[in-house]
Amino acid sequence: MEIVDHVDTLARELRACDGYDLARFAGWALYRAATYPAVMSDTTPATDLARLLWDGVTDLPDHIHLHASDDPDQQALAEEIEAAAQLAVTAFTDADPEAAAGVAEVIFNIILFATYPHEKTPVAEEMAAQHAMAHAILNAQPNLRVEGVGI
């Protein structure tokens, strides 16, 4: 499946979610993007926002800013994560499934940057993880835990 098709399918699946569940998915995706191994910037503001979204906190920052090194690649990754954070907040405040899926799409941008030309396996693994999380949230699995973000 192509990334664009995956993100479109994900957005359609997420339409069944309410604002809180969209926030949980967006927070999970933001956390994954911010902690991807290729990202060397301090992403603490993004991971903190991810935790707030996961917990359903309504008092969210308007935006976050990441401090990247002078490396242009790391600056580009930091900008991707900042954009993902804005999408995550929009997913919650506007109950927007396309914004939540957009956060997930940012992960693919980071994976492609980090693994090209060997991106096929990591992309497939990420698609599977995203679908699994979307279905877990849709099915309201109790005691759902996710890499460093929990309820």
149 within some domain = no
Q: Which domain holds residue 101?
A: 3-139
pLDDT at 151: 35
Alpha carbon distance 66, 74 (integer Å): 10
49 within some domain = yes
User: Which helix (H) or strand (E) is 145 found in, with range?
Assistant: strand 145-146
Rounded to two decimals, what is the model's pTM?
A: 0.88
76 within some domain = yes
pLDDT at 144: 53
Q: What is the mean pLDDT of residues 39-52?
A: 91
25 within some domain = yes
pLDDT in tens, 98-115: 999 999 999 999 999 988
pLDDT at 58: 86
Counting the structural domains of the chain, the total is 1
151 within some domain = no
150 within some domain = no
> Read out DSSP for 71-137?
-HHHHHHHHHHHHHHHHHHHHHHTT-HHHHHHHHHHHHHHHHHHHTTS-HHHHHHHHHHHHHHHHHH
